[in-house]
Amino acid sequence: MTLDLSFLSPRLDKATAPVRPVNVYDILRDGWRETRVDMTLLFFLDPTERHGLGSIVIDALLRALDGAPVISKNGISAVPFDADSNLGSEAWEIATQVEFIDVYAVNRELGIAIILENKIGHDLVNPLDRYAERALKDDEITTVLVAVLAPERRTARGDMNLWLSRALTYQELSTQIKSSPDLVEHLLSPSDRDQVRSLELLQQFFEARMGGVTVSDLQKEADRLNEWRDLVQEHEDAINAFYEARRRANRLIRDRSKRLDSLLGERIAELDLAIGWESHSGSNTEAWNAYLFTEIDWTIELKFTTDPARPAIYVYDYEGRTYKNETTTTLGLEWTASDEEIANAFIVRATAIIDRVRAERADAAFTRHASPLETAE
């Protein structure tokens, strides 16, 4: 069957809006990546960084948390946080991704730990109690605050709300920063090029976080929307046929993956290796049989895909269930290969991966335990 793909050819006019100022986060298209935002927060919250702003940003965060309940071993307490008595210190240690905490700020001189959960487009479903426990275990910390920072106010789900000192918005943090008299002095007379660049980056950061000010041309947007609706109506049959063809192609890979399930299980059983977890599922473009080999804590997947950017049949492996140290390799077979050929080829590849991981672990263990003299030799 030849599909009518003419609906892909028409050129749609682009609805325009007033040009926004150049923003590095827009250019890199990283504005929605929480890890990138975490790194920017780490830079500006650290008073010792090259931005030359001292404690302006961390103090702004403290002021935004003024009066918020301090976290105890049972969650929020009746003790309010007093920001004014803790401003101006540069003894802060800022880190990201500390036991899954987005931003972890500690000041041992003041005895304060701030757990900052950064959210862009996700719900607040994090284990805030575990994060707080991490800080409460530190004998030098007497004041623990748990906050969430997002474009709009977020609430925690269920009991986790008992572990949230305060929900902040980027607008609120920006307002606190701009209210600092020291910031005005830096803006009027920056000390060096690093400070000039840092001040501009800080402005762009909050522009990206808060979305900036946009004015839409509603008539052009209406024209584009109506053009799209007319196009869909004109090519409705072709579009439906396209989606039906895609559904059938995806059904092919799901059916074959399911058919190989028991055969792969038999072959893997012959390896006499424990399987701690397995998954037999799929997505819109892929179907997989995945196995976690507990002896080496490594997952190996046999994947079928309709995505033309990948081989139709390939192997995907990674550490544990973390998707770290991943590799992707073609299985070297076409779709016309028999189920037996595919299963056997997968076992050969899986065995090679297992041997590789074992060898890497052995080399790493030898390096750790070798004496300095042996290492030098």
Q: Is the pLDDT of residue 121 over 80?
A: no
Question: Residue 28 above 90 pLDDT?
Answer: no
- What band does 366 get if pLDDT is binned at 50, 70 and 90? confident
The whole-number pLDDT of residue 2 equals 67
On the question of pLDDT at 17 being above 60, the answer is no
| Statement: residue 158 has pLDDT above 80 | yes
Model pLDDT, residue 24: 82
pLDDT tens digits along 71-99: 999 999 999 999 999 999 999 999 998 99
pLDDT at 215: 39
> Which residues, 6+ apart, have CB-to-CB distance to 25 below 8 Å?
31, 36, 204, 205, 207, 208
pLDDT of residue 213: 38
Q: What's the pLDDT score for residue 214?
A: 41
pLDDT at 181 over 90: no
Q: What is the 3-state secondary structure of the chain?
A: CCCCCHHHCCCCCCCCCCCCCCCHHHHHCCCCCHHHHHHHHHHHHCCCCCCCCCCHHHHHHHHHCCCCEEEECCEEEEEECCCHHHCCCCCCEEEEEECCEEEEEEECCCCEEEEEEECCCCCCCCCHHHHHHHHHCCCCCCEEEEEEEECCCCCCCHHHHHHCCEEEEHHHHHHHHHCCHHHHHHHHCCCCHHHHHHHHHHHHHHHHHHCCCCCCCHHHHHHHHHHHHHHHHHCHHHHHHHHHHHHHHHHHHHHHHHHHHHHHHHHHHHCCCCEEEEEEEECCCEEEEEEEECCCCEEEEEEEECCCCCCCEEEEEEECCCCEEEEEEECCCCCCCCHHHHHHHHHHHHHHHHHHHHHHHHHHHHHHHCCHHHHHC
- What is the pLDDT confidence band of residue 135, given thresholds at 50, 70 and 90? very high
Instruction: Look at residue 286 in the predicted model and tell me its pLDDT.
Output: 95
Position 212 scores a pLDDT of 44
Query: Which of 233-237, 297-301, 341-345 has the lowest average pLDDT?
Result: 233-237
Give residue 18's pLDDT. Answer: 53
- pLDDT for 80: 97
- Name the residue with higher pLDDT: 122 or 367: 367
Whole-number average pLDDT of the chain: 88
Predicted local confidence at residue 33, as pLDDT: 67
81 phi-psi bin (left φ>0, alpha ψ -120 to 50, beta other): beta
pTM of the predicted model as reported, rounded to 2 decimal places = 0.54
For residue 36, pLDDT beyond 80 = no
Report the pLDDT value the prediction gives residue 6, as an integer from 0 to 100: 72
Predicted local distance difference test score (pLDDT) of residue 15: 52
More confident residue, 36 or 256: 256
Confidence of residue 363 (pLDDT cuts 50, 70, 90): confident
| pLDDT tens string 251-290 | 999 999 999 999 999 999 988 888 999 999 998 899 999 9
Higher pLDDT pick, 209 / 351: 351
State yes or no: pLDDT of 370 exceeds 60. Answer: yes
- 42-65 residue pLDDT tens: 999 999 999 999 999 999 999 999
